[in-house]
Amino acid sequence: MEISYRSAAEFAAALRRAAEAHHEYEQRTGEPDPDWADWYARFLVDEQAAGRPRATDAPD
């Protein structure tokens, strides 16, 4: 799936949502995630596929 953002500010906001969700994910697992970049990428793709910001759960 192709994803796009209309502006740097919109992309930054998406990254902040991903960071918050990932932080909560790491707190639930109790471990640091060395594959955080893959996690963020899945989150951003899933969020755009849904057409709205995601809840703060792990990407599918």
| Structural domain range at position 21 | 7-34
User: What is the reported pLDDT for 45?
Assistant: 94
pTM listed for this prediction: 0.79
Inside any domain, residue 12? yes
* 47 assigned to some structural domain: no
Token digits of residue 54 = 């995601």
How many domains is the chain partitioned into structurally? 1
**Quick check: is 14 in a domain?**
yes
Residue 26 lies in a domain: yes
Assess contact for 53 and 17: CB atoms under 8 A.
Answer: yes
User: Which tens digit of pLDDT belongs to each residue from 1-58?
Assistant: 788 999 999 999 999 999 999 999 999 999 999 999 999 999 999 999 988 665 555 5
**pLDDT reported for residue 1:** 78
Find, among 20, 28, 27, the residue nearest to 54 by Cα: 20
d(CA 26, CA 48): 22
| Residue 43 covered by a domain | no
Classify residue 19: in a domain, yes or no. yes
Asked, for residue 53, whether it belongs to a domain, the answer is no
- pLDDT value, residue 54: 56
